[in-house]
Chains A and B, each alone.
Chain A
Amino acid sequence: MASVTIDRATKRFGETLALDGVTLSARTGEFLALLGPSGCGKTTLLRLIAGFETLTDGEIRVDGDLLSSARHHVPTEKRRIGMVFQSYALWPHMSVWDNVAFALKVRRLTPAALKARVAEALEMVGLGSLGTRRPAALSGGQRQRVALARCLAMDPRLVLLDEPLANLDAHLRESMRAEFQDFHKRSGATMIHVTHDQSEALTMADRVAVMMGGRLRQVASPTELYRCPADEDVSRFIGRGSVLPVDVREVASCGTCHAILAGQPIRVRRDPARVLPGPGQLCLRAEDVRLDGGAESLPARVTGVRFQGDRREVDLILEAFPEEPLRAWTAWDHALEPGGAVGATVVDGWVFG
């Protein structure tokens, strides 16, 4: 159990600035996800916390102890952290048992204590009977469980997860998600999970840190991140939101405001920091738009209709903003054809900026 404090962490690889002054902290026992498109710097940040890379500038502390700065670097092997790798990184020449026991042998546990810890860890991931197997003789999910047990046995204060579910098929990923959450609950360890899969980040983490272009864009709980994105890029990246310009006329209480979108008055949620009327940006998600053709609807045109089982997803463009496609969900009773005209009503939304 540990808290992690990252202060203005900066990493340069030659000419490229991989990480640009990231300040972020994880509370003790928290499950924090680092989310972002590939090349955003999330893996670099994780490798800096692990100590595989050295900081160009800034500081990384765990429980107040300085682990990395431009001048100071505690080697990985002295950091006492756990890590689960994307490739699992099981040593092929060791049995499952030896893989799990390795870190404990390094720590010179007594044979009895070692045996008990390894057995317990393997039991917890349901592999108690496979200790003598070599990693090559295991399935993908079993290998992931061994990697988990190896991490569990170390009893780490901080666990780093480097896209551990990326190599699994969709079905297995679902069940391993639950195992990782279970592991988090049981161990109480602070966990930092790197992923590019937003549904994974939003379902598993207590808080999600969104990174883009080497910078931190927003840190928030999954609900807040989805409902109240901080800027245009986060709006588009999380939940594929559309962003339209609006004119805020009146800032109302309870976090809402009255605004004009393409000449039509709407009432939407707003950033609490906004206190004055004026131009702003509106994030609209598929569930914020109804295709009921009511009196206050905006004229729009359907550009595509997709079958989604329980509903249909409709692509449309507002006639006032032909550059910005919107999405809407609709029930089956609507007769919709690509190219057809439709009336779109904004029932919810989030104004930022």
Chain B
Amino acid sequence: MLVQALGQAMLLGMHIPDGFLSAPVALLWWVLTIAALAVAVQRLRGFDERRVPLMGVMAAFIFAAQMLNFPVLGGTSGHLLGGALAALLPGPWAGMLVMACVIALQALLFQDGGLLALGANVFNMGVATTLAGYGVGMPLIRAAGGRPWGLIVAGFVAAWLSVMLAAFLTSLQLVLSGLSAAVVFPAMLFVHAFIGVGEGLITVAALALVATTRPDLVPALAGSLDARALGRAMSRGAMLTVTFIGLAIAVGLALLSPLASADPDGLERVAEDHGFIERALDPAYNLLPDYTIPGLNGPLSTVLSGVIGLLIVFALAYGIMLLIRGRQESGQETTR
């Protein structure tokens, strides 16, 4: 019930409003964001300054693309966040600035995400998503040597990972600001494991369409793809490979998450929070009886609960996929 309500809230987005982040956390991420954007502006200066109109329109494109959605299950809908797509289409540095503009506009025009929290929001959804999307996506595309499955796997993994990374960073900031790690991490990563699958599918299809129709536009994809083969996107084998790679990365992330949050940042808050996290573990785990791991406490328990949660997510996703496929196949037989 609680996790569901949380899920509904998180589903609406990762835009942290003001009031949630403690001042040191918000300011720390402002510094990180300013540093990343300064590097991006430096990289594009002179070389790409003429392309400012293009990048501005691309920001408007990402914003509009986030409006597009499709029904998933039970009244929820899948839609795009766009970080990985922005990194793979206009390039990583341009994509970073594009995403920063999108998130800043959402905060300024629609109060979607706070002003003090803007640094954290831009970092989570703009900087981290584009760096991860490009850093993971490009090597995979290159490793595939231009074969179409490279684009499919790379697009999916990059998009899924960028969403999970953004969710992880958002959770980390909330936990550092005093929210309970035992609630925030499982809830955020659980919900975004699904959202990431939608992101991955949309990103792959969008990349495939652009690569097929205008491969000249996209430096990352130019000349490395066979347009005909891309028409048959998303075969069953490719999807399975993607699922297993995703699972492996997810488990890795879950293992890292509490360790990263245990990493002292020099913020005295952290120590204080850890005091309460350990004490808070008991009541919080009562809420999530499935995650109760008797005899364990502290980071190890969070790690295990994270891994278990992810395994459950994947089992659920796989089961639902089988169900849908079964229903579809039986439907086809009866109509034949």
Are A and B co-members of a single complex? no
Residue numbers of B with Cβ under 8 A of A are none
